Copies of this chain bind each other. A is one copy, B any other.
Amino acid sequence: MIKARTLSGFMELLPEEQIQMNLLLEEIKACYERFSFTPLDTPVMEAAEVLLAKGGGDTEKEIYLLEKGSTELALRFDLTVPLAKYVALYYDKLAFPFRRYQVGKVYRGERAQKGRFREFYQADIDIIGDGSLDISNDAEIPAVMYQVFQSLGLTNFAIHINNRKLLSGFYASLGLENKSGEIMRLVDKLDKVGAEKLRAMLQEELALTPAVIDQILDFMTLRGSNQEILTQLRGQAASHPRLQAGVDELEAVCQTLAGYGVPESAYVIDLSIARGLDYYTGTVYETLVTAHPEWGSICSGGRYDNLAGYYCKKQLPGVGMSIGVTRLYDLLRQNHLLNPKARTSPCDILILPMTDHVDPATHLAAELRAQGFKTQIYLEPKKFKHKMNYANKLQVPYLVFLGEDELNSGTISCKDMVSGDQQSFTKDAFIQNMHEQLARRDQEPLIAE
């Protein structure tokens, strides 16, 4: 006999948890679709050389490689590289701007720790332009995410926004043009390592002087309202044309966000974020749940001007964000932020036939299913108590008893398992009552902070 086990770093949920996780995934997808993103579903496995076209970095160390056949295969570690491949491969058949969403599992063989999994869901949206892509798209993407969080009932979060053009323009204004990539990589660790350690790293690894480091850290930690920060940035922007371009973009994004109905409270300009991945070239985003910054970003992304450039000569700029759904679910679960009033049972109505003949139950069940109710008949020849235990364990909200009396009178006897009330209905009244009760439950947001 083999011991049943699940690999560490792989989330596997109990049924009631899985229903919550699915509600989370479904709400995200529904929101993406309302913004008219088209679904894609690329393979989990690709030729290793395709996935590693960009090469370098931590990615290569964490990738899962496969042994089969003569082609070296790998499991995808994000959904962005497969998108770049897809757009390059099907360029002629796509309409641009190409707006796609993809929700799928990705794989990283890193050490399992809080908020980090080896197999996890990402839920991405990206917009890819052909030759050019208007800056308003850089506002639409976080506006979609704002709507996603609204729909889920998550209110205490902030989308942090920055612009890498602005950063690299700032470094260029300090005469550090050639080091800007390296500086961004280190400054991106500010959250994790703190100011003192970062100061030491900038001095030792990049040989910056303390005076320059002061200037950098002052800039990174500019604080104030979004408007105040923009005002300060405008004051410095003339010092380098690239800084000016970055400030203009950031300002345009903030203005358009207001047009999308995203309130000031939902986003902050944060000059300290840069995103480690070096394919971002403009706007960058990270999202923190306000009370739980230690979980890291739950939704990140940015603008990349030439990702498909690894595969084709076309200039295909894009902008996108990705929700780390597995991490978000884990955060919500472990911090008790999931609404206990949202659905957790696979079953709306459990029918207990109290007579030998099962046909009346199957006929009623067919009618209830046609109404959209999740309906089950208890079919096992077990004791009544066992059946009630089953209903309780499944957290079934409504039980229907179908005995001789009900069959003769054409009524339905229903027990509300929360209140404990038992009531007799005509079939029509029962169906209407179920619609009302279940609609009320299904309007409960998934998250209750």
A: residues with CB less than 8 A from B are: 1-7, 10-15, 18-19, 21-22, 33-47, 49-50, 53, 64-69, 71, 73, 75, 85-86, 88-90, 93-97, 99-100, 105, 107, 109, 119, 129, 132-134, 136-137, 140, 147, 256, 259-261, 310-313, 346-348, 350, 358-359, 362-363, 366, 369, 372-376, 379-381, 390, 393-394
Pairwise interchain contact A359-B312, C-beta atoms closer than 8 A? no
Pairwise interchain contact A99-B346, C-beta atoms closer than 8 A? yes
Pairwise interchain contact B129-A380, C-beta atoms closer than 8 A? yes
- In the complex where A47-B5, A66-B66, A67-B67 touch, is A374 in contact with B34 (Cβ < 8 A)? yes
Pairwise interchain contact A34-B375, C-beta atoms closer than 8 A? yes
Contacts of A68 in B (CB 8 A): 64-65, 109
Q: Out of B6, B36, B134, which one reaches A346, CB within 8 Å? A: B36
What separation, in Å, do the CA atoms of A311 and B89 have in the docked complex?
Answer: 44
Pairwise interchain contact B89-A6, C-beta atoms closer than 8 A? yes
What separation, in Å, do the CA atoms of A388 and B14 have in the docked complex?
Answer: 49
Question: Which among A37, A137, A346, A366 has the greatest number of chain B C-beta atoms within 10 A?
Answer: A346
Interface pairs A-B: 3 shortest CB-CB = A38-B346, A36-B376, A95-B393
Pairwise interchain contact A50-B134, C-beta atoms closer than 8 A? no
Q: Out of B13, B109, B390, which one reaches A95, CB within 8 Å? A: B390
- In the complex where A2-B50, A14-B93 touch, is A261 in contact with B38 (Cβ < 8 A)? no
What separation, in Å, do the CA atoms of A73 and B107 have in the docked complex?
Answer: 13
Contacts of A4 in B (CB 8 A): 50, 85-86, 88-89, 311-312
Pairwise interchain contact B376-A136, C-beta atoms closer than 8 A? no
Pairwise interchain contact A311-B34, C-beta atoms closer than 8 A? no
Q: A439: shortest Cβ distance to chain B, in Å?
A: 15
Q: Out of B7, B133, B363, which one reaches A45, CB within 8 Å? A: B7
Pairwise interchain contact A94-B2, C-beta atoms closer than 8 A? no
Interchain Cβ contacts under 8 Å between A and B, 15 examples: A4-B86, A6-B43, A6-B89, A12-B41, A15-B39, A15-B40, A18-B40, A22-B41, A64-B66, A66-B75, A96-B390, A97-B380, A147-B369, A259-B359, A259-B362
What separation, in Å, do the CA atoms of A47 and B133 have in the docked complex?
Answer: 45
What separation, in Å, do the CA atoms of A10 and B53 have in the docked complex?
Answer: 20
Contacts of A347 in B (CB 8 A): 36
